[in-house]
Amino acid sequence: MTAPSLLLRHSPAIVGVASVIGLFAAIEGLIRASVINRHVVPLPSQVLLAFPRVIAEEDVLGRFLTTAGEAAAAALLLAATAIPLGVLLHRTQLICTAVEGWIAAMAAAPLVLIYPLFLVIFGRNALTIIMIGFAAGLAPVILKTLEGLRATRPVLLNVGRSFRLSRAQQFWKILLPSALPSIFTGMRLGLIFALINVVGVEFLINFGGLGQLINDLAERYDLPAMYATICFVILVSVVFFMGLEHLERWLRPRQ
Amino acid sequence: MAATQAIGSAPHRRAFVRQVLVARAVIAVALLAFWELVARSRLLFEGVVPQLDVIARGLGRLLAAPAFYTNLQTTAGEVGTALIIGGSAGLLVGLVLGANRFLGRAFEPYLYYLGPTPKIIFFPIMIMWFGTGPGSKIAMGAVSCFFPVALSVAAGMRQIDQVLIRVGRSFRASSLQMASKVYLPAMRDPVVNSFRLGLGVAVIGVLLAETKLSNRGLGFMVIDSYSRFDMPAMYALLIVIFVLAVGLNAGLSRLARSGNGARASAALG
């Protein structure tokens, strides 16, 4: 591939990156020209310089591990309960039809608002945070599991029947493998919802990992460090989402 | 759905629908009975799981209180303003990114990956920019709903029948005419759907911001009942908020029958 065509292919990405850099440069300029108050928006260069300080003094990596651990615990709970629940619902058509609408409604409700209730029940600790993450991911994982099981091609089921597979064999050899891509999608969504809510509740109840750090820095009015930590959280989530997407693509069976 | 796969004839289907209704009633009664049992068992701390009649009385007290309606009005105003600001910005950006392949490829990845980040962490910034009053809550809601609206509108643009676009072009329609006569009418459902998603996250953004720092609104009432340990009031509030949110969502999805945007549904930060 020649250099110009390579440039042409990547030109949208280059324009995107250049615009982001340009935006930050413009903000830097406006603050230096005192158009934007630097006690409200710190200089982007200051924010950049605050990164090493935040990493060295505020134990960002340890806090990252705390947050990641809470999200992972919520994901494990989801995998252990929501997927089996989806499978059970798929088996009992009557109950499934009866409650599926309720589960979809639950997905639309602002569930994270029950965090004060969880504070009362579980106390102000990691369990509250994990349970909020779990509750947020519950509906999508159940619904995606159901969707995957239901989308199993009838031909495959008939092949299983013609081999006189038992119900368990039918499930392990045919239904589950066929539903796996959809279940993965569900788990990816569940994990994303869990992470969003874990960070959010950490911030709200001022407890735990990265979310608490932002709250802390805001209360100390350490603006550059606060903006740097917010950038760090965004960076971590974006890397995490990209990683999950690649993982899903890699795991999906080639057709 | 599942019912129609297995059951063919109309009488059978009707019988199945009746069974489903019965099943729903049985499950609901069983859940309520279980709740009452837990409440009476005294296994949990006193008051954490109040008996049903206590919650019902809390609900009655809440709905009879004038303070509830002024707070509801505050929150509804904040969510509505957030939806207008964030939604119209999202609509504009979505239209531009969806119509122009180059800009879409340049900027959509940023929206796509920023979409699912937890928005509430921007709240300290919003307080500094817009103050501790309703301004910062509106900003939270607007930022939250911008992303799903923009992404889902951009995705909807790309699904428009190309024939319609070619007809518009052959009539030499201007960009404004293309937007108002071709794109927007063809996209009614994706747009309504995107606002449904946007409304959901705007409600979350506003209410969470209210629980963190405010002295008005339903979110404030929730956190206030927590700090007073008034559990019946908290349950009543949560019930009312969930019913309102789910009802609004159901109403809007009835407006737009087609579901779109697996991409956008992941953007509910």
Nearest beta carbon to residue B121 from set A40, A99, A233: A233
**For the ranges A176-180, B16-20, B254-258, which has the lowest average pLDDT?**
B254-258
> pLDDT tens-digit profile of B137-174?
999 999 999 999 999 999 988 888 888 888 888 988 88
In the prediction, which pLDDT does B149 show?
A: 94
Measured in residues, chain A has a length of: 255
C-alpha–C-alpha distance, residues B236 and A179, integer Å: 39
C-alpha–C-alpha distance, residues B7 and B3, integer Å: 6
pLDDT-flagged residues of chain A (< 50): none
C-alpha–C-alpha distance, residues B78 and B137, integer Å: 7
C-alpha–C-alpha distance, residues A237 and A224, integer Å: 20
C-alpha–C-alpha distance, residues B182 and B168, integer Å: 7
Q: Given a cut of 80, is residue B29 above it in pLDDT?
A: yes
Contact B116 A99 (CB under 8 A): no
Dihedral (C-alpha) A67, A71, A74, A76: value to the nearest 10 degrees? -120
C-alpha–C-alpha distance, residues A40 and B136, integer Å: 14
ipTM: 0.86
Contact list in B for residue A89 (CB cut-off 8 A) is: none
List, as ranges, residues 129-148 from B with C-beta within 8 Å of A.
Answer: 129
Please give the CATH superfamily to which domain B58-265 belongs.
MetI-like (1.10.3720.10)
Looking up tokens 């937890």 gives B118
Contact list in A for residue B3 (CB cut-off 8 A) is: 93, 97
Mutate which: A19, A47, A112, A117, vs B, most B CBs within 10 A? A117
In three state form, how does the secondary structure of chain B look?
A: CHHHHHCCCHHHHHHHHHHHHHHHHHHHHHHHHHHHHHHHHCCCCCCCCCCHHHHHHHHHHHHHCHHHHHHHHHHHHHHHHHHHHHHHHHHHHHHHHHHCHHHHHHHHHHHHHHCCCCHHHHHHHHHHHHCCCHHHHHHHHHHHHHHHHHHHHHHHHHCCCHHHHHHHHHCCCCHHHHHHHHHHHHCHHHHHHHHHHHHHHHHHHHHHHHHHCCCCCHHHHHHHHHHCCCHHHHHHHHHHHHHHHHHHHHHHHHHCCCCCCHHHHCCCC
Contact list in B for residue A117 (CB cut-off 8 A) is: 226, 234-235, 238
In the prediction, which pLDDT does B64 show?
A: 94
C-alpha–C-alpha distance, residues B29 and B114, integer Å: 42
- The dihedrals phi and psi of B258, each to the nearest 5 degrees, come to -80, 135
In the prediction, which pLDDT does A37 show?
A: 84
In the prediction, which pLDDT does B181 show?
A: 84
C-alpha–C-alpha distance, residues B64 and B57, integer Å: 10
| Nearest residue of B to residue A197, measured between CA atoms | B118
Q: Give the global pTM.
A: 0.86
Q: Given a cut of 60, is residue B6 above it in pLDDT?
A: no
Helices B10-41 and A93-108 meet at what angle, rounded to 10?
60
Measured in whole angstroms, how far is the alpha carbon of residue B96 from the centre of its chain? Answer: 24
Contact list in B for residue A109 (CB cut-off 8 A) is: 242, 245-246
A93 touches chain B (CB under 8 A): yes
Q: Given a cut of 90, is residue B210 above it in pLDDT?
A: yes
C-alpha–C-alpha distance, residues B206 and B87, integer Å: 14
Contact B234 A233 (CB under 8 A): no
C-alpha–C-alpha distance, residues A108 and B246, integer Å: 6
Contact A108 B120 (CB under 8 A): no
- The domain ranges of chain B are 2-49, 58-265
Q: For the residues B10-29, what does the mean pLDDT come to?
A: 88
- Alpha carbon distance, N-terminus to C-terminus of chain A: 29
Contact list in A for residue B24 (CB cut-off 8 A) is: 98-99
A235 touches chain B (CB under 8 A): no
Q: Given a cut of 90, is residue B220 above it in pLDDT?
A: yes
| Nearest residue of A to residue B265, measured between CA atoms | A189
In the prediction, which pLDDT does A2 show?
A: 61
Q: Which two tokens stand for residue A186?
A: 């569900």
> pLDDT tens-digit profile of B43-102?
777 778 888 999 999 999 999 999 999 999 999 999 999 999 999 999 999 989 988 888
Contact B211 A116 (CB under 8 A): yes
A98 touches chain B (CB under 8 A): yes
In the prediction, which pLDDT does B3 show?
A: 42
Contact assessment for residue B211 and residue A113, using Cβ atoms and an 8 Å cutoff: yes
Q: Given a cut of 50, is residue B267 above it in pLDDT?
A: no
Contact list in B for residue A195 (CB cut-off 8 A) is: 118
pLDDT mean across residues, chain B: 86
